[in-house]
Amino acid sequence: MKRLVLSDAEFAAFARLLHDSAGLAFDNSRRESLAYSVTERMRANACADVAAYLSMVTGVGGGELQALLDEVTIPETHFFRNPPQIRALRKHVLPELLRQAAGSKRLRIWSAGCSTGEEPYTIAMLLRELLPASSGWDVRIIATDISKRALAAAESARYGERAFVMTDPIDQQRFFYLDTDRGGYVIRDEVRELVEFRHHNLVTDEPPFAPGELDLVLCRNVTIYFDRTTTKRLMHRLHGCLRDGGYLFLGHAETLWQVSDAFSLVSLGDAFVYRSGDPEAERRAVLPDRRTEDEPRPTRADRRRGPLDRRLVAELGSQPAPAEPARDPIIAVRTAVAGGNYAEAADLAAEVGTATPLRSEAHYLHGLALSNLGRDAEALVVLRKAVYLDPDDGFAHFLLGVSLERTGERLAAARSYRAAAGTLGSRPFDAVAPELGGRSVAELAALCHRLALQAEGVARGEMQR
Ligand SMILES: C[S@@+](CC[C@H](N)C(=O)[O-])C[C@H]1O[C@@H](n2cnc3c(N)ncnc32)[C@H](O)[C@@H]1O
């Protein structure tokens, strides 16, 4: 069957169906990808006519709708995905949750949109590091997804090399065994027994937890396919399931900015996560640049001195001389970038970022310098902070896309390029970023569209191999 071109009416009908049944938003930029999925399903059903296929997919039973959902959903995932979040789970979140549940010995975790199972199994492995199998704890990780195809793969617990790009060989050896007969690495029972997979639609089904029952929910890289209204509703439901102080982990490109005020943004090491309510002192506003009441407000003199000088004053414990106003330290970073001194720029930006962790510009320039030094894995960490703190910074999204692509995360790169194209649109058309080769906004936005399509094409090719 040759490649299908959907008419406007056909595209609108499929997009409406997928939105209403699963919350999936298909705008024009994903039209080709939808046509590809429809072609695949029509081929599988030996159906040559789009109108006939549409009635088949909306027909009774829902069998073909499920098959189409299996086709259009994007299962990209791997073990130990998002290293900053994994570090936060390992060092802070799981030990804290276990300490808090020491009395009841009961822990409830939801991996919402678990795809082929790498995420919930990763959590189970992290828990197994802390809790031996014989510890007598009642721990359940409920892992849900709308895709039956992904869930079947998850239940099989058998994985190929691709799933291990972020896995330490020691963890691979400890939690998997190589099945030399059938091929692939299989998860050991001590990990498998903590996870229960269920078919569940996050948009239309009731959550599988009672109100306030949940300690931790991971809903990572799921809402990127939803519109804001659907995401708002889902976050409201997730919040209802979490106990006070429970944690919510979203993907690096997802934010509750203008979505929900019910959570606090917490920075744990180099990760940002959300928390229901605010039982601890470490409260952050969801709007990242809004100052909270418990942070000391800078005095007028402080503001004149700038953050790095404030830190020095605090460290030396001395009163500054009534000196001339200090320069904003970010100027030195920009000067180093402009001169191509990226190593110096990276060091300076790291200092500014440490002194003022909510200043997105510092993280952006830090990422730019690291990216120019070819240190993409490090660049990812700070660029994620930059887009988290300022979701409208198209330049930061662009750089994030570049680093993601260079580290092999092609679909994530495509999403960042699209986010860049979308947010760049809000800047003056002839604005120029000197640090990005003096490209104009219009040029950069067009480039991002092209790069997104390219990255998706390569990813598709890789998945089919
Ligand atoms: C990109 S994967 C993310 C996997 C994993 N959370 C991670 O971050 O590695 C997104 C998953 O969300 C699932 N999904 C999309 N819409 C859904 C819905 N309405 N209900 C449940 N799952 C959904 C897809 O089937 C897919 O497996």
Q: What is the CATH number of the domain that holds 25?
A: 1.10.155.10
Residue nearest to atom 2 of ligand 1 (CA): 75
Give the integer Cα–Cα distance in Å for 224 and 254.
Answer: 7
For residue 77, give Cα distances in angstroms to 46, 222, 431, 463.
Answer: 31, 11, 36, 12
Task: Indicate the average pLDDT of the chain.
Answer: 85
CATH number of domain containing 332: 1.25.40.10
Pocket of ligand 1 (CB under 6 A): 22-24, 73-77, 81, 113-115, 119, 145-147, 150, 201-203, 220-222, 225, 251
Q: What is the pLDDT of residue 310?
A: 34
Residue 372 has pLDDT above 90, yes or no: no
Q: Pairing between strand 106-112 and 138-145? A: parallel
DSSP 47: -
Give the integer Cα–Cα distance in Å for 207 and 237.
Answer: 7
Ligand 1 atom, smallest distance to 201 CA: 20
Residue in the block written with tokens 């195809």: 149
User: In angstroms, what is the span from residue 205 Cα to ligand 1's centroid?
Assistant: 14
Domain final residue pick, 211, 241, 276: 276
Q: Which residues contact 406 (CB under 8 A, 6 or more apart)?
A: 376
**Which tokens belong to 148?**
């039956």
Sign of CA dihedral 388, 392, 396, 402: positive
Domain final residue pick, 276, 308, 336: 276
Identify whether 339 is part of a domain. Answer: yes
Q: Pairing between strand 271-276 and 263-268? A: antiparallel
Identify whether 285 is part of a domain. Answer: no
Measured in degrees and rounded to the nearest 5, phi and psi for residue 186 equal -115, 140
Residue nearest to atom 12 of ligand 1 (CA): 113
Domain final residue pick, 72, 97, 115: 72
Of the candidates 47, 211, 71, which has an alpha carbon nearest to the alpha carbon of residue 147? Answer: 71
Residue 2 has pLDDT above 80, yes or no: no
Residue 118 has pLDDT above 50, yes or no: yes
Q: What is the pLDDT of residue 306?
A: 34
Identify whether 309 is part of a domain. Answer: no
Give the integer Cα–Cα distance in Å for 275 and 364.
Answer: 25
Same-domain pairing of 22 and 122:
no
Strand partners, 263: 276
Q: What is the pLDDT of residue 301?
A: 38
Ligand 1 atom, smallest distance to 77 CA: 9
Same-domain pairing of 121 and 55:
no
Same-domain pairing of 206 and 134:
yes
Give residue-wise pLDDT tens across range 181-227. Answer: 999 999 999 999 999 999 999 999 999 999 999 999 999 999 999 99
Identify whether 148 is part of a domain. Answer: yes
Tell me the one-letter amino acid at 307.
P
CATH number of domain containing 114: 3.40.50.150
Identify whether 308 is part of a domain. Answer: no
**Helix (H) or strand (E) segment spanning residue 463:** helix 441-464
DSSP 368-405: HHHHHTT-HHHHHHHHHHHHHH-TT-HHHHHHHHHHHH
Give the integer Cα–Cα distance in Å for 37 and 16.
Answer: 15
Residue nearest to atom 24 of ligand 1 (CA): 73
- pLDDT bucket at 291, cuts 50 / 70 / 90: very low
User: In angstroms, what is the span from residue 145 Cα to ligand 1's centroid?
Assistant: 6
Give residue-wise pLDDT tens across range 43-54. Answer: 999 999 999 999
Please state the rounded mean pLDDT for residues 101-128. Answer: 97
CB atoms under 10 Å from CB of 47, counted, come to 19
User: In angstroms, what is the span from residue 358 Cα to ligand 1's centroid?
Assistant: 30
User: Taking the model in full, what pTM does it have?
Assistant: 0.67
Give the integer Cα–Cα distance in Å for 412 and 416.
Answer: 6
User: In angstroms, what is the span from residue 113 Cα to ligand 1's centroid?
Assistant: 4
User: In angstroms, what is the span from residue 190 Cα to ligand 1's centroid?
Assistant: 25
Identify whether 295 is part of a domain. Answer: no
Q: CA dihedral defined by 305, 306, 307, 312, rounded to 10 degrees?
A: -30
Same-domain pairing of 116 and 243:
yes
User: In angstroms, what is the span from residue 192 Cα to ligand 1's centroid?
Assistant: 20
Contact (Cβ atoms closer than 8 angstroms) between residue 376 and residue 370:
yes
Same-domain pairing of 110 and 174:
yes
User: In angstroms, what is the span from residue 131 Cα to ligand 1's centroid?
Assistant: 28
For residue 36, give Cα distances in angstroms to 15, 41, 63, 416.
Answer: 13, 9, 19, 22
Site to probe by mutation for ligand 1, drawn from 222, 235, 415 as the one with most ligand atoms within 8 Å of Cβ, is: 222
Contact (Cβ atoms closer than 8 angstroms) between residue 190 and residue 128:
yes
Same-domain pairing of 42 and 112:
no
What is the count of structural domains for the chain?
A: 3
How would you list the strands of the sheet with 158-159, edge to edge? 158-159, 185-187, 176-178
Site to probe by mutation for ligand 1, drawn from 65, 116, 145 as the one with most ligand atoms within 8 Å of Cβ, is: 145
Ligand 1 atom, smallest distance to 203 CA: 19
Site to probe by mutation for ligand 1, drawn from 146, 201, 229 as the one with most ligand atoms within 8 Å of Cβ, is: 146
Same-domain pairing of 386 and 449:
yes
User: In angstroms, what is the span from residue 222 Cα to ligand 1's centroid?
Assistant: 5
Give the integer Cα–Cα distance in Å for 206 and 371.
Answer: 43
Same-domain pairing of 123 and 16:
no
Q: What is the pLDDT of residue 281?
A: 39
For residue 363, give Cα distances in angstroms to 348, 380, 424, 454.
Answer: 11, 10, 18, 27
Domain that holds residue 20: 8-72
Residue in the block written with tokens 């046509």: 35
Residue nearest to atom 11 of ligand 1 (CA): 113
Ligand 1 atom, smallest distance to 200 CA: 21
Same-domain pairing of 113 and 147:
yes
Give the integer Cα–Cα distance in Å for 445 and 410.
Answer: 18
Q: What is the pLDDT of residue 325?
A: 57
With a pLDDT cut of 90, the percent of the chain lying above it is: 56
Residue 88 has pLDDT above 50, yes or no: yes
Residue 324 has pLDDT above 60, yes or no: no
Same-domain pairing of 215 and 93:
yes
User: In angstroms, what is the span from residue 94 Cα to ligand 1's centroid?
Assistant: 23
- pLDDT bucket at 442, cuts 50 / 70 / 90: confident
More confident residue, 290 or 242: 242
CA angle 358, 363, 368 (to 5 degrees): 165
Q: What is the pLDDT of residue 461?
A: 78
**Which tokens belong to 198?**
């269920």
Same-domain pairing of 87 and 50:
no
Q: What is the pLDDT of residue 341?
A: 79
Identify whether 62 is part of a domain. Answer: yes
CA angle 78, 79, 81 (to 5 degrees): 75
Residue 307 has pLDDT above 50, yes or no: no
Same-domain pairing of 68 and 204:
no
Identify whether 25 is part of a domain. Answer: yes
Residue nearest to atom 7 of ligand 1 (CA): 77
Q: What is the pLDDT of residue 100?
A: 95
Residue 5 has pLDDT above 60, yes or no: yes
Residue 393 has pLDDT above 70, yes or no: yes
Q: What is the pLDDT of residue 323?
A: 52
